[in-house]
């Protein structure tokens, strides 16, 4: 039997969505306050029952009650409906607000489900619209209702009631099998994960300084002392163990992120669904794609495995968590992913390169940085600071690799930028998607008749640094011509 | 020639190099000077407060060196502001607006009218006194892509805004 959900009348969020939101806000509160809670619990006065009962009451009863009550009021007072081609969200108990999102302004609709939301059959639906505000509007709905609302908003239907029969069927394009997922996981950038884990560990160690009495820097010097006192074999074993741990962690993270990955396409756009436990869904309408980029990290470039990013309007201001990359595990996926935008430019296309003066400029900047480090190390008598002077040769090596690999392929309707350093990175921009052009010249560039051109689109920008002024002028004029004559 | 185009040759595309630049109003120089004065009065007040209330800052050498540093920085800031205003100019063409600014790093921004989302005119306290205003063209590309023309006469800014808005309505704006 066909089910109909009428969006033209105001609806509240379902009760089970409120329950999961309360559980989540309680969880996030614990996440924020846990160092303070541990400090209170380990406080000897609290343990012996002397005083500080107010603090215990404050942290374990009053603050959670206050936060949960606020969330409950805010949740209960949110209503949504569709009125004359606009999504209307009325919300706020303490401060009342009405958000009106015209259909044509909504660029993308995201659907998210973590494990708790999946268990309770609810989903978080979030809308992107261009503008100066960075606020992301979101509603929690039953999963089926969320799907229908998304299809209604992106499909731009004229009537406000959607049945299951009206939802357009999509064609599968990419789905990852076990071997794809394994290769994707094993080729993740584990060094990056190692650095993130180290930063996280340092932050937590600082949080617990009141208990341990040691800051993260104290722990670093303790590690240094331990390393000096032990044999090279022991230190190597620890380093290998850390690397293996970071590889395993990055593998698990990738599997969690791309498990059940599926990309389907309909006449309106791509539908991306990803996530093993926490599921995220995104609908990318073809006409909203501003530019496309793809990259392969220093391991994946040899397989080759690429991650595709569709940059839609407002992409520059949404957080990374909403950006879903599409893993192109086979080169045969490229034409399908690019067909709605512009084909990849052939290798024989006309090319632009950066001027070698870029290298000289980087050398000059590295000298300034080295001088600053040297002066700081001398003033503060910080001996290890001198070791940082190795930055200059490393900096120059990076700059050389970037200069050597950078190229811009140019065609009548698009340009493709290769900005590879260690990971292979490409951006494909259609001229008619350009919303503004900026040409910059420093004193150094003016002397050599060079310039940096930045092409802005609604989904972000691309830069062409250190090209000749003549080429910069031609790029600017052609981009404006294509943009101004596009409809 | 960098690239080929079967529809139109590059020589036929109007070049933005040959535009006639309009200088911004001289009143902007006064506004910048007052803004500079206000900023540095605050910095000096904070510095004096720090010297008076923080015991570690009793050392005459430190105070002298930092004061000289601040004086040099403020002088450089003043000079950079004045040079920057001297370079500022704008040009309006049939389909876009160009704006140049900067001193050490010179920037030319171009925004096609059919990519403008909306337009606004703003006037600050000092602007009002010296009869200048700013016109901002908002695009879907965000703050970095927006074009803000400073130092326009209020009437010119309003006329330009109305003309651009009517052009957007007539030709349509998109991304």
Contact A130 B117 (CB under 8 A): yes
Is the pLDDT at A317 greater than 70? The verdict is: no
Q: Which residue of chain B has the CA closest to A469?
A: B17
Residue A326 makes CB contacts below 8 A (sequence gap 6+) with A174, A263, A270, A272, A307, A308, A309, A310, A337
Query: Model confidence over A109-122: pLDDT tens digits?
Result: 888 888 888 888 99
Residues A430-453, mean pLDDT to the nearest whole number? 96
Domain spans of chain A? Answer: 4-167, 180-258, 262-354+406-484, 357-402
Averaged confidence pLDDT in chain A: 83
Please tell me if residue B5 touches chain A, with a CB cutoff of 8 Å.
Answer: yes
**From CA B129, how far away is CA B121, in angstroms rounded?**
16
Higher-confidence position of A96 and A372: A372
Percent of chain B with pLDDT over 90: 65
Q: How confident is the model at residue A385 (pLDDT cuts 50, 70, 90)?
A: low
pLDDT at A160: 45
Question: How far apart are the C-alpha atoms of A276 and A296, rounded to whole Å?
Answer: 22
Q: Which of A20-34, A178-192, A269-283, A444-458 has the lowest mean pLDDT?
A: A20-34
Q: Supply the pLDDT for residue A162.
A: 45
What are the chain A neighbours of B108 within 8 Å (beta carbons)? 438-439, 476
pLDDT of residue A170: 78
Which whole number is the average pLDDT over B116-129? 89
Instruction: Tell me which fold the domain B88-169 belongs to.
Output: PH-domain like (2.30.29)
Number of cross-chain residue pairs from A and B with Cβ atoms under 8 Å apart: 121
Contact B139 A442 (CB under 8 A): no
Count CB neighbours of A458 within 10 A.
28
Q: Is it the case that residue A73 has pLDDT exceeding 80?
A: yes
Q: What is the mean pLDDT of residues A40-66?
A: 66
Burial of A239: CB neighbours in 10 Å, binned 0-12, 13-18, 19+? exposed
CB contact under 8 A, A486 and B114: yes
Would the CB atoms of B143 and A132 count as touching at under 8 Å? yes
| C-alpha angle A84-A87-A91 in degrees, rounded to nearest 5 | 125
Query: What pLDDT is stored for residue A375 in this prediction?
Result: 83
Question: What Cα–Cα distance (Å) separates residue A18 from each residue in A65, A121, A144, A328, A388?
Answer: 15, 12, 17, 38, 52
Specify the pLDDT at position A133.
46
pLDDT tier at A32, thresholds 50, 70, 90:
confident
The percentage of chain A sitting over the pLDDT mark of 90, rounded to a whole number, equals: 30
Residue A195: pLDDT over 80: yes
Chain A residues inside the 8 Å CB shell of B16:
473, 476-477, 480
Residue A437 has pLDDT above 90, yes or no: yes
Interchain CB contact of B167 with A (< 8 Å): no
Give pLDDT, residue B142. 82
Q: Mutation test of the interface with chain B: which of A105, A350, A434, A435, choosing the one with the most B Cβ atoms within 10 A?
A: A435
pLDDT score of B39: 97
Domain ranges of chain B: 27-84, 88-169
- pLDDT at A58 (0 to 100): 66
User: How far does Cα B140 stand from its chain's mean position?
Assistant: 19
* pLDDT score for A483: 93
Closest CB to A480 among B105, B112, B175: B112
User: φ and ψ at B131, to 5 degrees?
Assistant: 65, 35
**Residue A37 banded pLDDT, cuts 50, 70, 90:** confident
Per-state percent for chain B, helix, strand, coil, to nearest 5: 55, 20, 25
pLDDT at A59: 65
User: Contact B172/A316, CB-based, under 8 Å?
Assistant: no
pLDDT for the residue B150 = 95
Average pLDDT over residues A474-481: 95
pLDDT at residue number A212: 74
> Is A350's Cβ below 8 Å from some Cβ in B?
yes
- Residue A451 pLDDT grade (very low, low, confident, very high; cuts 50, 70, 90): very high
Share of chain A above pLDDT 70, in %: 87
pLDDT tens string A134-157: 456 788 999 999 988 888 887 654
**Core vs surface per residue A387-417: b (16+ CB within 10 A) or e:** eeeeebeebeeebeebbeebbbbbbeebbbb
pLDDT higher than 60, residue B101: yes
The answer on pLDDT for A165 being more than 70 is no
Please state the rounded mean pLDDT for residues A272-283.
88
pLDDT at B148 over 50: yes
Tell me the shortest Cα–Cα distance from A155 to chain B, in angstroms.
Answer: 19
8 Å CB contact of B175 and A317? no
């Amino acid at each position: 039997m066909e089910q109909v959900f009428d969006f033209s009348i105001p609806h509240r969020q379902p009760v089970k969505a409120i329950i999961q939101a309360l559980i989540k806000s309680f969880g996030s509160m614990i996440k924020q306050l846990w160092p303070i809670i541990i400090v209170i619990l380990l406080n000897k006065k609290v343990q012996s029952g002397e005083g500080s009962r107010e603090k215990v009451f404050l942290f374990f009863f009053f603050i959670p009650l206050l936060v949960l009550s606020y969330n409950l009021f805010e949740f209960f007072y949110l209503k949504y409906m569709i009125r004359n081609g606009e999504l209307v969200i009325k919300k706020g108990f303490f401060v009342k607000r009405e958000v009106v999102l015209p259909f044509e302004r909504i660029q993308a609709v995201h659907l998210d489900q973590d494990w708790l939301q999946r268990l309770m059959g609810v989903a978080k639906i979030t809308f992107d619209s261009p503008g100066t505000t960075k606020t992301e509007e979101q509603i929690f709905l039953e999963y089926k209702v969320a799907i229908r609302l998304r299809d209604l908003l992106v499909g731009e239907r004229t009537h406000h009631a959607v049945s299951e029969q009206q939802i357009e069927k999509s064609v599968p394009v990419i789905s990852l099998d076990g071997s794809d997922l394994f290769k994707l996981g094993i080729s993740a950038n584990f060094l990056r994960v190692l650095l993130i884990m180290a930063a996280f560990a340092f932050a937590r160690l600082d949080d617990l300084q009141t208990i341990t009495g040691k800051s993260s820097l104290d722990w670093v010097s303790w590690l240094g002392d331990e390393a000096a006192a032990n044999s090279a074999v022991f230190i190597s074993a620890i380093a290998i163990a850390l690397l293996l741990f970071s590889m395993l962690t990055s593998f698990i993270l990738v599997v969690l992120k791309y498990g059940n990955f599926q990309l389907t396409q309909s006449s309106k756009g791509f539908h991306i669904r990803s996530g093993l436990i926490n599921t995220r869904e995104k609908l990318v309408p073809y006409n909203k794609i501003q530019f496309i980029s793809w990259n392969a990290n220093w391991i994946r470039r040899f397989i080759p495995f690429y991650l595709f990013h569709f940059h839609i309007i407002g992409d520059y201001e949404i957080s990374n968590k909403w950006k879903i990359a599409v893993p192109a595990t086979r080169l045969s996926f490229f034409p399908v992913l690019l067909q709605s935008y512009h084909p990849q430019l052939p290798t024989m296309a006309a090319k632009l390169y950066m001027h070698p003066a870029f290298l000289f400029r980087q050398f000059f900047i590295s000298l300034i940085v080295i001088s600053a480090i040297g002066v700081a190390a001398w003033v503060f008598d910080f001996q290890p600071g001198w070791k940082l002077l190795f930055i200059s040769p490393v900096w120059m090596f990076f700059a050389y690799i970037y200069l050597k690999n950078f190229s811009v392929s140019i065609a009548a309707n698009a340009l493709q930028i290769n900005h590879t350093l260690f990971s292979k990175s490409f951006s494909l921009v259609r001229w008619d998607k350009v919303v503004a052009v900026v040409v910059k010249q420093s004193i150094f560039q003016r002397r050599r008749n060079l310039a940096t051109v930045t092409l802005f689109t609604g989904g972000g920008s691309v830069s062409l640094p250190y090209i000749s002024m003549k080429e910069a002028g031609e790029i600017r004029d052609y981009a404006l011509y294509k943009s101004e004559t596009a409809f | 020639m960098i690239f080929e185009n079967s529809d139109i040759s590059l020589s036929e595309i109007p070049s933005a190099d040959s535009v006639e630049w309009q200088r911004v109003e001289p009143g902007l120089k006064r506004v910048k000077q007052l803004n500079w004065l206000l900023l540095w009065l605050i910095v000096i007040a904070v510095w004096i407060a720090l010297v008076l209330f923080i015991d570690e800052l009793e050392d005459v050498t430190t105070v002298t060196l930092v004061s000289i540093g601040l004086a040099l920085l403020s002088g450089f800031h003043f000079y950079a502001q004045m040079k920057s205003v001297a370079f500022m100019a704008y040009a309006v063409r049939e389909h876009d607006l160009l704006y140049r600014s900067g001193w050490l790093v010179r920037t030319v921004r171009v925004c096609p009218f059919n990519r403008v989302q909306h337009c606004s005119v703003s006037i600050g306290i000092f602007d009002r006194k010296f009869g200048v205003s700013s016109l901002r063209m908002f695009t879907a590309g965000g703050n970095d892509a927006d074009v803000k023309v400073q130092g326009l006469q209020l009437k010119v800014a309003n006329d330009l805004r109305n003309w651009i808005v009517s052009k957007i309505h007539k030709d349509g704006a998109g991304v």
